[in-house]
Amino acid sequence: MKLLNPLPVLLLGACLLNIIPSAPAQAPCPSAPADPLMKQWVANEGDWNAIWDPVSAPTTRADGARVANYRGAWSKPTGFGHYSSSEEKVQGTLTIAVNGNVVEIDRVETPNMRNTCHYRGTVIAPDRVRGSYTCSYHSAPLRWQARILTPTSAFCAANEPRLSVVWHETEGDWRAEWTPTGAPGHFNASYRKGRETTQATVTVEITENDLHNRVVVRARRTQALGTCDYDGFLTGAGGATNADGWTVNGRYQCTWGGGNLPWSAIIGAGHP
């Protein structure tokens, strides 16, 4: 029996390996910036809620303070009820200076440039600031606080499959679907309870872990009434924390009150 020459088969296999493209490698996740002046700040001032976005790279003053310019957008619900769709809006610019744990901010409203405010606060946690402020139209000090948002680190949003599917969320009697918009970590949310409905936008971060080696989920919901902050952990079967889980359990609170309440979500179908 004559044996076939294996050389043509080996050559064909080598050609096929060169023709068939390999799967593209995932882009590496960028490290989250450590400087708080390179991050978005989400502030609350009584009935007003605000988002402050950096517009310039931070610089260092002679006294050692880090300084950056920000653009701010404020909103306050003006209708009745928790889910009013009408709101008052204000725009402005801010100069934020951070020196150690001391924060000072100068704000100028645009476009009239007449109303100004000065804030002073203290960094009470790596992502939290609290203090008081006065304005040209209100000399008595008022309270303010802000959360400094940290971008997703270990699971960068562009590569995280859990941020590209619908989240089925529950908080008390309310049920919601958080539907991804296409921008990593951004969702459009529809809430319902009986005949009541409301809409919101939600941003979600999945961070590497906490001190107990659990993967942390943080979300922020924004609507005319105000904002809600969600904290939780990825969980698996039986509700145990699991870095590979596709469910979430945690607590949330809103600017209009309600305390520290439980929430949960099934991500997609509850599995990869």
pLDDT digits (tens, 9 = 90+) for 16-74: 444 434 434 444 444 555 688 988 888 899 888 888 888 888 999 999 999 999 999 88
Q: Provide, rounded to the nearest whole percent, the portion of the chain with pLDDT above 70.
A: 76
d(CA 217, CA 249): 9
- Is 55 in contact with 96 (CB distance < 8 Å)? no
Of 218, 239, 238, 240, give the one whose Cα is nearest residue 229: 218
- 236-258 average pLDDT score: 81
DSSP three-state, residue 100: coil
Tokens matching residue 169? 């969320």
DSSP three-state, residue 6: coil
Q: What is the pLDDT of residues 101-129, one digit of tens each?
A: 999 999 999 887 789 999 999 999 888 99
d(CA 9, CA 13): 6
Cα atoms in the Cβ-side hemisphere of radius 13 Å centred on 56: 14
State residue 60's pLDDT score: 95
CATH superfamily, region 157-267: Quinohemoprotein amine dehydrogenase alpha subunit, domain 2 (2.40.128.120)
Indicate where the chain has its CATH 2.40.128.120 domain(s): 157-267
The CATH classification number of 36-148 equals: 2.40.128
CA dihedral 169, 53, 147, 216 (to 10 degrees): 50
